[in-house]
Structure 1
């Protein structure tokens, strides 16, 4: 299923099953059936159709939302070997930790709000009639060392745009991880029909602004004194790239 796809289920129980799994991230199939009070025969029928139509995946009795996100990519530099892949529900804790490390001291306020949101919801990926949210991660071994996140409201007037955050832990910077994550995120956005990707950062986050500028992003606007960080007013730099 692609994020740009409109959700059409054809049956109320089918919609309820999908919405429950989408809201919870990864759920035992029997728990879903019992919670929604769907009879066993009907439940298996609906799940089979949802799997056939590309809405859900099932692995060892666990249901997740099925998304067309591509394969893992492996890279190696002189200093580190890393993998970039679509995020999974079980990556949530690692992603929250990585974002909060990068966002500390007010360097990345939008990303910090993303970490708060997914931590509160306990759900990583979303695709419903109000919003879509996708993550890719950079992994060193079993550790999340970087991420790229895209969020898009399902509104007709904004359906061509998506907001992006990207970051890499300090100790892994300088290995091209951020560039690969950004490229993967933009490729995904383009393949799902988005025409413009944007993000904002405090003007004090000079490293992020320079990184995006080096990758072809342009500053669209500056909002003066938009943030207040450690008692000091800081401008917001609004940047974007056309796909």
Structure 2
């Protein structure tokens, strides 16, 4: 597969590609704490409103121009400049395209973009029952710094989240 990783655009094509990946993951209820699906129009608006100092990359399979993964980094907090060097990262890959190097391509691009925007550290929350995601982040140099017990409640069940970080 030939991949191109580029910045997400506030256009319907990119938004549809993103929600086509994200909504099945949300509906399955196993790999994210997000619990409400998004429309393509909502995603267009999300991209438009995305923080200027954030990073929002998509991976496109060039053979059919389909979005096969996406990753974003948002500022950790906006209420103080003490955290300006810290970003929160999220990564999603279409289920049918996993284990084909998409996440690695996204990480490579996102790490570079994040550094260029002044980030020094990336932080993530990973569901403790999402072993594949945790392993992917650990392969990219993230380290476990703790566990937030019963941090999310999805469909009536508490979910622990593993806190991870990586210095760029």
Give the TM-score, by structure 2 length. Answer: 0.82
Q: Within 2, Cα distance between the matches of 1:163 and 1:182?
A: 13
RMSD of aligned Cα (Å):
2.5
What are the ranges of 5 or more consecutive residues in structure 2 without an aligned counterpart? Answer: none
Which structure has the higher relative contact order (CA within 8 Å, separation 6+)? 2
Q: Within 2, Cα distance between the matches of 1:208 and 1:162?
A: 18
- Choose from 212, 215, 226 the match for 2:140: 215
Q: Which structure has the greater CA radius of gyration?
A: 1
Does residue 151 (structure 1) correspond to residue 74 (structure 2)? The answer is: yes
8 Å CA contact retained: 1:126, 1:132:
no
Shift of 1:107: 1.1
Does residue 97 (structure 1) correspond to residue 16 (structure 2)? The answer is: no
- Choose from 196, 220, 223 the match for 2:121: 196
In structure 2, the partner of 1:178 is: 103
Q: Within 2, Cα distance between the matches of 1:89 and 1:145?
A: 17
Shift of 1:97: 2.4
Give the TM-score, by structure 1 length. Answer: 0.59
Does residue 108 (structure 1) correspond to residue 29 (structure 2)? The answer is: no
In structure 1, the partner of 2:149 is: 224
Shift of 1:113: 7.4
Shift of 1:126: 4.1
Q: Within 2, Cα distance between the matches of 1:169 and 1:188?
A: 22
What are the ranges of 5 or more consecutive residues in structure 1 without an aligned counterpart? Answer: 1-79
- In the superposition, relative to structure 1, how do residues 114 and 100 fare at CA in structure 2: closer, same or farther (>3 Å)? closer
Structure 2 counterparts to residues 1-243 of structure 1, below 5 A:
80-90=1-11, 91-103=14-26, 104-109=28-33, 119=42, 122-126=45-49, 132-140=53-61, 141-152=64-75, 153-154=77-78, 155-243=80-168
Which shows bigger deviation, 152-161 or 96-105? 96-105
